Structure 1
Amino acid sequence: MNKLNISLSVGNYDRTQALFDGRVDIEGCNVRAVPLEPEEAFHRAFRYEEFDVTEISMSSHMMTTARGDNQYIGIPAFLSRVFRQSGIYVRTDRGIDKPEDLRGKTIGVPEYQITANVWIRGILEDEYGVKPADIKWRRGGVEEPGRGERAPIELDPSIDLQQIPDDKTLSGMLESGEIDAVIGARAPSCFLRGVPNVGRLFGDYIEAEKDYFRRTRIFPIMHMVGIRKSLVAENPWLPVSVYKAFLKAKMLAVKELDEICHLAVTLPWMVHHHNEAKKLMGEDYWPYGLDANRHVIETFARYHYGQGLSKRKVAPEELFAASSLDLSKI
């Protein structure tokens, strides 16, 4: 039987590395794998459908699924997960000492719709009563000027979202004091350079994120894996083969984190950190599959719909190929 030739683009994480170095194959496939930064993979996938299997944004996938024009169908392999209390950067000379102080402030976003920002706005509203309409939003590139939304969005008129001038960046405006804060997936360079009067809202963000997990049991999902729907229609066996490969690759990565004889990651106490994560979050603290993540995805769907990014509330099952949800029964 001839194997199916497919292209693959995901980040070169420890949990995907085995797909790049040949330790894990995708059954029935010859794979051409291209490691890419997530932003580039998203742009090339959602605009041009360049890859057969690709890392995709949870927010973009939910938005296109709600509209009914999604060109990719997901499998429940969640390649990127990040607690986002760390992603709120503020002017420290504006009296912003707690989340409630963000009301009435001007906050920069690289895109309103990106997954990290959906989570941050949802957490601000759920945990602290700060609603999106309480804030003046300013959109633009964090480091490069001129960035807009990856896909068009229509927000409620109560949301004050304006584009910053094309010759300015959010990092520059935060440094100069033209805006009060920036939220997003990446730290602005002004924070990394240690400029005066710029810091994190949550100084001890690790403790804030641990507390959040203890109370909610949510480890926020950022990215999943998508397969071109047209390819799945022609090869209905493909989602299970792809999902099995990602499960195996993650298993190999987690096994390496337990190896104290020779450290797989360039951190001296990596095994200790791995054990601390298991103590707090459980043996499988980075779970794949829908059942273990249903409450996380339902929370995100509520945020996404409530923030006006999806026209209807999407059920978690709609995001995934049905066969990939039944793998535990095989």
Structure 2
Amino acid sequence: MSKLELSMSVGNYDRTQALFDGRAQIEGCNVHAVPLEPEEAFHRAFRYGEFDITEISMSSHMMTTARGDNQYVAVPAFLSRVFRQSGIYVRTDRGIEHPHDLRGRVIGVPEYQITANVWIRGILEDEYGVKPSEIHWRRGGVEEGGREERAPISLPDSIDLQQIPNDKTLSGMLESGEIDGYIGARAPSCFLRGAPHVGRLFKNYIESEQDYFRRTRIFPIMHMVGIRKSLVEKYPWLPVSVYKAFLTAKNLAVKELDEICHLAVTLPWMVHHHNEAKRLMGADYWPYGLEANQHVIETFSRYHYGQGLSTRQVAPEELFARSSLDLSKI
């Protein structure tokens, strides 16, 4: 039997590297892999459905699943996870010292729907009582003008979301003081350049994020792996094969982090940082599979629906091919 020819686009992470170099293969498939930055992969997936297997935004996937028009079905391999207390940037000359100081402020977002911002707004409300309706949101490109939502959204009337002019950027507006802050997955260039009066809201963000994990046991999920829905219907064996390959790739990457003879990552104390993460978060601190991540996805689903991005609250298992959730029984 000839192998199934598939296209794939995921980020070139340590946890996907084995899929690109051939150490982890998808059974029964010849995979033509293209490494892309997540934003480009998401745009090409959700606008044009270009790839058979692709990294997908959890927010966009949840939104399209709730509407019933999702082109992809996921497997529980979570390619990107990031604590997001680090993703809130503010003017330091406006008296914004604590999260409650964000009430009534004008805050920029590259897109309202992106997963990082859903997590940040949810954390602000759950942890500090700051509701999305208490902030004035301004949307646009961080470094290049004209960015809009990758998929249509319909928000409650209580949300003030306005598009900035196409000839402006959020980084430029933050630096000039036209907005009070910015939240997003990437640091704005004005912060990276050390522009005056621009800083993080959580100055000691690592301690804040570690404390958040100790209390909630949540390591926020950003991206997962999607397979073209029509392919799953035609080849029901495909989700398990895809999931097994991604799990193998992640396990190979984690094994390399323990190797002190030759460092796999360009960090002098890589093994020390790896051991510190295990002490705080457990041996499998980046778990795949639904069971270990049920509470994380349930929390995100509550945020997503509460923020008006989902038409209903999606149950975690709805996001995934059912066969990929039963590997413990194989």
Would you say same fold, with TM above 0.5? yes
Aligned-residue offset at 1:305: 0.1
Alignment match, 1:124? 124
Q: What is the CA-CA distance between 1:276 and the residue it aligns to?
A: 0.1
Match of 1:304 in 2: 304
Q: CA deviation at 1:166?
A: 1.0
Task: Describe the superposition over 1:86-112 as per-residue Cα deviations: whole angstroms up to 9, x where unpaired.
Answer: 000000000000101000000000000
Q: Which amino acid aligns with 1:41?
A: A
Secondary structure in 2 matching 1:34: strand
Q: What is aligned with 1:325?
A: 325
The total of aligned residue pairs comes to 330
Residue in structure 2 matched with residue 208 of structure 1 by the alignment: 208
Distance 1:172 1:99 in 2: 23
The alpha carbon displacement at 1:2 in A equals: 1.0
| Structure 1 Cα separation of the partners of residues 103 and 36 of structure 2 | 37
SS at match of 2:244: helix
State the 4+ residue runs in structure 1 displaced beyond 6 angstroms.
none
Per mean C-alpha deviation after superposition, the further-off stretch among 179-188 and 149-158 is 149-158
Give CA deviations for 1:200-240 in whole Å, capped at 9, x if unaligned: 00001000000000000000000000000000111000000
RMSD: 0.4
Distance 2:53 2:295 in 1: 26
Over residues 158-210 of structure 1, what are the superposed CA-to-partner deviations in whole Å (9 max), with x where a residue is unaligned?
Answer: 10000001110000000000000000000000000001100000001000000
Give the Cα–Cα distance (whole angstroms) in 2 for the partners of residues 295 and 253 of structure 1.
25
* Structure 1 segment 65-214 matched on structure 2, within 5 A: 65-214=65-214
TM-fit CA distance, 1:24: 1.1
Matched position secondary structure for 1:95: coil
Counterpart of 1:219 in structure 2 is 219
Residues in 2 aligned to 1:198 and 1:4: alpha-carbon distance in whole angstroms: 51
Aligned-residue sequence identity (percent) comes to 86
For residues 60 and 322 of structure 1, the distance between their equivalents in structure 2, rounded to whole angstroms, comes to: 20
Aligned equivalents of 2:146 and 2:43: distance in 1?
16
Counterpart Cα distance in 2 of 1:39 and 1:154 = 21
Deviation of the 1:140 alpha carbon: 0.3
The equivalent of 2:9 in structure 1 is 9
Deviation, 1:39, is 0.5
Cα distance in 2, alignment partners of residues 41 and 7 from structure 1: 12
Which whole-Å CA distance do the structure 2 matches of 1:256 and 1:186 have between them? 27
**Corresponding residue number in structure 2 for 1:280:** 280
Partner SS state of residue 227, structure 1 = strand
Query: Deviations for 1:258-295, whole angstroms, at most 9, x for unmatched residues?
Result: 00000000000000000000000000000000000000
Q: Which amino acid aligns with 2:202?
A: F
Aligned residue in 1 for 2:257: 257
Q: Distance in 1 between matches of 2:243 and 2:264?
A: 24
TM-score by length of 1: 1.00
Name the aligned partner's letter for residue 105 of structure 1: R
Q: Secondary structure at the match of 2:35?
A: coil
Structure 1 CA distance for aligned equivalents of residues 166 and 192 of structure 2: 23
How far off is 1:47 after superposition?
A: 1.0
1:195 partner letter? A
CA distance in 1, matches of 2:158, 2:20: 46
Q: CA deviation at 1:311?
A: 0.4
Deviation at 1:251, TM superposition (A): 0.4
Matched residues in 2 for 1:285 and 1:255: separation? 13
User: Could you say what secondary structure the match of 2:194 adopts?
Assistant: coil
Alpha-carbon distance in 2 for matches of 1:247, 1:326: 14
What TM-score, normalized by structure 2, do the two folds share?
A: 1.00
Q: Which secondary structure does the structure 1 equivalent of 2:284 belong to?
A: coil
Q: Which amino acid aligns with 2:218?
A: I
CA distance in 2, matches of 1:166, 1:26: 43
Partner of 1:235: 235
Which amino acid letter does the alignment assign opposite residue 48 of structure 1?
Y
Question: Which residue is equivalent to 1:268?
Answer: 268
Instruction: Measure the CA separation in 2 of the matches of 1:129 and 1:284.
Output: 32
5+ long unaligned stretches in structure 1: none
Instruction: Look up the match of 1:53.
Output: 53
